[in-house]
Amino acid sequence: MKHIPGVTSAPTTDLPVLLPLDRTRARPPEAMMVSRWLAGLPAWTPLPLLALMLLWPLTAEAAYTYGQAVDALWRWLPFLVKSGFLYNVVISFLAMAIGTAAGAALGLAQISQIAAIRRTAWFVTQLFRNSPWLVLLFIVMLALPFELVIGDTIISIPDWTKAVFGLSLPIMANISEIVRGAVQSVPSAQWEASEALAFNRRQILWMIILPQCIKRMIPPWMNWYAILTMATPLCSLLAVEEIVTLSRQAIEAEDNHPELLVPFYSFIMVIFFAYCYPIARLTVRLERKFAVKL
Amino acid sequence: MTETAVQPPAWTPDQPIVAIREVRKAFGELEVLTDVSFDVMKGEVVCIIGPSGSGKSTLLRCINALIPINSGSIQVEGQEVHSPHLDKLALRRKVGMVFQQYNLFPHKTALQNVMMAPVHVLKEDKAEVEARAYRLIRKVRLEGKENAYPGELSGGQQQRVAIARSLAMNPDIMLFDEVTAALDPETVKEVLVTIKDLAAEGMTCMLVTHEMGFAREIADHIYFTDRGIIVEHGPPATFFTDAKDPRTREFLSQIL
């Protein structure tokens, strides 16, 4: 390889103009990295996991045979999918729906002409975007009551609805940033041209700016959906019934045989991969398709 | 607080349609317009020429209140543009503007680009606007391109759609901001022909341009700006041959 000072080795100059760009500063770590990485994996990625799932029980001691371990896994699979993973999907759907609606509103508030609204929206966005998801979940879990008493009727709030709410908060904040970024990515000349045609601000935003950038919001939005889905097992720490919680219970029901741990958790990884991988592939494809110059 | 309703004197067509008085505009420290005054009469075609950064485009943007001025006065049909009580939307209905980069709405067809403002801003009847839009597109010699998206049109074609879009609002004045500067030499002519047609119909036009031959042919009056002031002005016949100021002469010698 050709030796280029400053590229393949440390620069030898002290002229500031030739110093290399500080790439970590120039480009913040992008959320889209998750989808790009996932989509870049080969489709056979889960095969080693599947192999692990089936081979690990070979380590079984005499007391617990390979056949018994595989049999246990086989028995529990339908239950784990139907009563477990399905809940992960439902939680992710609902959290995404709430987060998208709230995030769109918050994102538009971030570009409001009223400074108080703009700053508040910015603060809320930054707060929820940069907080650890688990902490948000715990706060929501503990801050919300477990039941509402209105007169004589008692409405109980199940844990999983609180989990949905807790997960929708960081989604809201990240969607807010997507909306703000997309609106600001439309060249300001579009605003100028619309203003010159006597459109008012609301008309410009809804009729001219948003229709142009809605497409480029879709890939990052899907990216956040994949991240959210992969984050739903966090709910197991709050005892919400989903796949990880149920797997743990299943292993306990099988007398906590240590041979079962790796197969069960490998299965969880495989099923998440099977669900998120197509989404990531589609996300990256759409991203390329929509990467049009205005 | 007493609110005295100051009724502006009614504007009559014998008065200047655009009256610019001692306009000063600075972006922070950078003074772009130092002291600009001139009048434009109805039906007049005025060309503003001058070196880059001399404030030509800024002046046009001040006329339809896209950017505020620091001091001075700009009146359009007797209405003070600088006034805090200005109805910006009413002003912009009277003043059409065409930009260097066309700025068509990329998600709308040529026809929709032309129809949008009359339908949604003026709330005019859609069928009427559509008929007018077809007429305007024919006028800018683009019949057959009604359903093309901006991305499917050449620069010159896009610019002519932009002119039609602006005309659809039935403006009294048209501002052209270096409308041919981003075009290929072959397509410049088709845009200039369109503007010439407009001027011939009696539209009041203010053009910022680098096309000296065109300015000479079309303008009733030419203003030369340099560093925020009008250095020299006159009708094209004398302006190009008989420039007094050394700065004008230098500029013309470089460009002609």
pLDDT in tens, A179-220: 999 998 888 899 999 999 999 999 999 999 999 888 888 888
- Please give the backbone phi and psi of residue B180, each rounded to the nearest 5 degrees, phi first: -110, 0
Q: Is residue A223 scored above 70 in pLDDT?
A: yes
Contact between chains at B66 and A199 (C-beta distance less than 8 A): no
CATH number among 3.40.50.300, 1.10.3720.10, 2.40.100.10, 2.60.40.10, domain A68-290: 1.10.3720.10
Residue A200, chain B, CB below 8 Å: the answer is yes
Distance CA B57, CA B51 (A): 11
Provide, as residue numbers in chain A, all residues whose Cβ is less than 8 Å from the Cβ of B169. Answer: 197-198
| Residue A61 binned pLDDT confidence (cut-offs 50, 70, 90) | low
Whether the complex's predicted ipTM surpasses the cut of 0.85: yes
| Residue A16 binned pLDDT confidence (cut-offs 50, 70, 90) | low
Contact between chains at B121 and A199 (C-beta distance less than 8 A): yes
Q: Which one of B66, B106, B116 has the shortest CB-CB distance to A196? A: B66
Per-residue pLDDT at A1: 53
Distance CA B70, CA B26 (A): 7
Q: Give the CA-trace dihedral at A85, A90, A96, A97, to 10 degrees.
A: 170
Q: Is residue A11 scored above 80 in pLDDT?
A: no
- Asked which of A129-133, A158-162, A212-216, A255-259 is least confident by mean pLDDT, the reply is A255-259
Closest to B222 (Cα-Cα) out of B144, B209, B92: B209
Which pairing describes strands A147-150 and B18-27: parallel, antiparallel, or unpaired?
Answer: unpaired
Contact between chains at B89 and A211 (C-beta distance less than 8 A): no
Q: Domains in chain B, ordered, with CATH?
A: 18-255 (3.40.50.300)
Q: Is residue A90 scored above 50 in pLDDT?
A: yes
Q: Is residue A5 scored above 70 in pLDDT?
A: no
Contact between chains at B103 and A193 (C-beta distance less than 8 A): yes
Q: What is the mean pLDDT of residues A105-132?
A: 94
Per-residue pLDDT at B1: 43
Contact between chains at B103 and A199 (C-beta distance less than 8 A): no
Q: Which one of B90, B106, B117 has the shortest CB-CB distance to A197? A: B117
pLDDT in tens, B52-86: 878 888 999 999 899 999 999 999 998 898 888 88
| Residue A20 binned pLDDT confidence (cut-offs 50, 70, 90) | low
Per-residue pLDDT at B48: 93
Residue A198, chain B, CB below 8 Å: the answer is yes
| Residue A294 binned pLDDT confidence (cut-offs 50, 70, 90) | very low
Provide, as residue numbers in chain A, all residues whose Cβ is less than 8 Å from the Cβ of B120. Answer: 199, 203, 207
Provide, as residue numbers in chain B, all residues whose Cβ is less than 8 Å from the Cβ of A197. Answer: 92, 116-117, 121, 165-166, 169
Q: A239 versus B112: which is more confidently predicted?
A: B112
Q: Which one of A192, A200, A203 has the shortest CB-CB distance to B103? A: A192
Provide, as residue numbers in chain B, all residues whose Cβ is less than 8 Å from the Cβ of A190. Answer: 103, 105
Q: What is the mean pLDDT of residues B19-23?
A: 91
Closest to B57 (Cα-Cα) out of B243, B49, B14: B49
3-state SS track over B208-239? ECCCHHHHHHHCCEEEEEECCEEEEEECHHHH
DSSP state of B180: T
Contact between chains at B116 and A196 (C-beta distance less than 8 A): no
Domain extents for chain A?
68-290
A201 to chain B, closest Cα gap in Å: 11
Tell which A residues from 202 to 221 touch B, by Cβ distance under 8 Å.
203, 207-208, 211-212
CB pairs under 8 A between A and B: 54
| Residue A270 binned pLDDT confidence (cut-offs 50, 70, 90) | very high
- Please give the backbone phi and psi of residue A45, each rounded to the nearest 5 degrees, phi first: -50, -40
Per-residue pLDDT at A9: 65
Per-residue pLDDT at A70: 82
Whether the CB-CB separation of A180 and A107 falls below 8 Å is answered with: yes
Contact between chains at B121 and A195 (C-beta distance less than 8 A): no
Q: What is the DSSP string of A216-242?
A: HHHHHHHHHHHHHHHHGGGGGGGT--S
| Residue A28 binned pLDDT confidence (cut-offs 50, 70, 90) | very low
- Asked which of A175-189, B30-44, B236-250 is least confident by mean pLDDT, the reply is B236-250
Residue A150, chain B, CB below 8 Å: the answer is no
Contact between chains at A212 and B116 (C-beta distance less than 8 A): no
Proportion of chain B above pLDDT 90, given as a percent: 51
Q: Is residue A167 scored above 50 in pLDDT?
A: yes
- Average pLDDT over chain B reads 89
Is the four-CA dihedral A192, A193, A197, A202 of positive or negative sign? negative
Per-residue pLDDT at A26: 43
Q: Is residue B118 scored above 70 in pLDDT?
A: yes
Q: Which one of B97, B101, B107 has the shortest CB-CB distance to A196? A: B97
Provide, as residue numbers in chain B, all residues whose Cβ is less than 8 Å from the Cβ of A206. Answer: none
Q: Is residue B99 scored above 90 in pLDDT?
A: yes
CB within 8 Å of B77: residues ≥ 6 apart: B11, B17, B94, B172
Provide, as residue numbers in chain B, all residues whose Cβ is less than 8 Å from the Cβ of A113. Answer: none
Number of Cβ within 10 Å of residue B237's Cβ equals: 10
A113 to chain B, closest Cα gap in Å: 16
Contact between chains at A198 and B96 (C-beta distance less than 8 A): no
Q: What is the mean pLDDT of residues B165-178?
A: 94
A213 to chain B, closest Cα gap in Å: 10
Residues in B whose CB is inside 8 Å of some CB of A read: 64, 66, 88-90, 92-93, 95-97, 99, 101, 103-107, 116-117, 120-121, 162, 165-166, 169
Distance CA B177, CA B89 (A): 20
